[in-house]
Amino acid sequence: MGSISQHLAELDASNFKVTRSTTLRDVPLPGSPEELSHSHCTDHMVTVRWTDTNGWETPEVKPYQNLSIPPTASCLHYATECFEGMKVYRGYDGKLRLFRPDCNGQRLSNSAQRSSLPVFKFDQLKKLVAKLMQIDGPRWLPNPGTFLYIRPTMIGNGPHLGVQVPKEALLFVIAVPWPDISSKGLRLYASTPDTIRAWPGGFGYAKLGANYGPSLQAHGQAKAMGFDQILWLFGEDRQVTEAGASNFFIIWRDASGKLELVTAPLENQLILPGVTRRSVLELVSERLSTQSVGSLEPLKVVERTLTIAEIEKAAEEGRIVESFVSGTAYFITPVAMIRNVNTDISTLGPNGESAGYTTLIKSWLEHIMFGKEQHEWGYVIEDGEN
């Protein structure tokens, strides 16, 4: 059932079997088709095998290569799979950093449990990533101010076609150059009642493959109509949950004129508990909830259920200040508008201009990620033997 047994070896990233690649891959140029493919991975990958008889085996670093998977593996039939999205940043001080990697480790272990895959001590994940980056970082991420995308993934890959808890699993970590997809302003298409991403008692709070594949149909239809992402609504009152693969935030004045930063709550387990989401809430609470920053007035941080009707009303009354999504892939990206049924809602401030909150929050995070600000959230990867 995914619980750690005394008899099974725990995940231990203090020891590795390393096989170096002898044929190095081309590093794609920024903006090249290879980079835009989101799929041109670095020279190596990390794999760790687990069995229900022995637990976690010794992690391996090996040349990037296709996986050999039995046609009967449960990841191909029953979606026994979960993943994380992370980035590794080359700081302006020349160091490589991860951003709050234990949050990703904890969430991956939680996701594994929800999909009946093995759990692990979550602080080991950052060490797996660090090992990969000690080897591939120098050649693939040489330039300060740039990043690679990191994808830790766990799959049930044993040859067992019966519908049952997996007896074998593979945790692997790959790294891939990723174009900067933050844009001027996203166009969101609000989901219709005939397609729903998550439900109470389901698994919307876990980063399971099962949350993504079934959402691609609506996503593809929205893309074809010129939108960037689905804004997933839920329930008869059309609650705003999350946007595509990112969390949704709105800054507005409430009816009394007070400035608020509002996002959906975690309690009903409908949305993914984003690491960037949590960081935004924590930074704004600490730095901008009781004091102004420059010309920007303080924001009250509010996690609560909000509906699309509230957003529409705020737009009509000119109370919206800014809106943005947060996530590892999209980072902090402004939202320009939302189409809900036949209504286009502008989520920009008066005159279509941003007040500057989104830019400020983004810069705070960037400073931590790229080492301009020394902060406990930045996990420095020590140089390896490379």
Residues that bind a copy of itself (CB under 8 A): 1-2, 37-39, 41, 45, 64, 66-72, 74-81, 83, 113-116, 149, 151, 153, 155-156, 159-166, 172, 174, 176, 193-196, 199-203, 208-214, 216-217, 219-221, 224, 244-245, 329
Q: Which is nearer to a copy of itself, 117 or 311 (CB)?
A: 117
Q: How far is the CB of 318 from a copy of itself (least distance, A)?
A: 33
Q: Which is nearer to a copy of itself, 214 or 352 (CB)?
A: 214
| Residue 151, phi then psi, degrees to nearest 5 | -125, 95
What is the SS3 assignment for 291? coil
Q: How far is the CB of 378 from a copy of itself (least distance, A)?
A: 25
Q: How far is the CB of 371 from a copy of itself (least distance, A)?
A: 26
Q: Which is nearer to a copy of itself, 47 or 323 (CB)?
A: 47
C-beta separation of 140 from 177 below 8 A: yes
Q: Which is nearer to a copy of itself, 71 or 257 (CB)?
A: 71
**Among 359, 320, 323, 151, which Cα is nearest to 243's?**
323
**Among 64, 136, 62, 61, which Cα is nearest to 96's?**
136
**Among 227, 182, 184, which Cα is nearest to 345's?**
227
Q: Which is nearer to a copy of itself, 164 or 374 (CB)?
A: 164
Residue 99 sits at the vertex; the CA angle it makes with 96 and 100, to the nearest 5 degrees, is: 135
- Alpha-carbon gap, residue 383 to 362, rounded angstroms: 28
Beta bridge partners of 6: none
C-beta separation of 300 from 251 below 8 A: no
Residue 114 sits at the vertex; the CA angle it makes with 200 and 161, to the nearest 5 degrees, is: 120
Q: How far is the CB of 172 from a copy of itself (least distance, A)?
A: 6
Q: How far is the CB of 335 from a copy of itself (least distance, A)?
A: 18
Q: How many CB atoms lie within 10 A of CB 34?
A: 16
Q: How far is the CB of 236 from a copy of itself (least distance, A)?
A: 11
Q: Which is nearer to a copy of itself, 243 or 283 (CB)?
A: 243
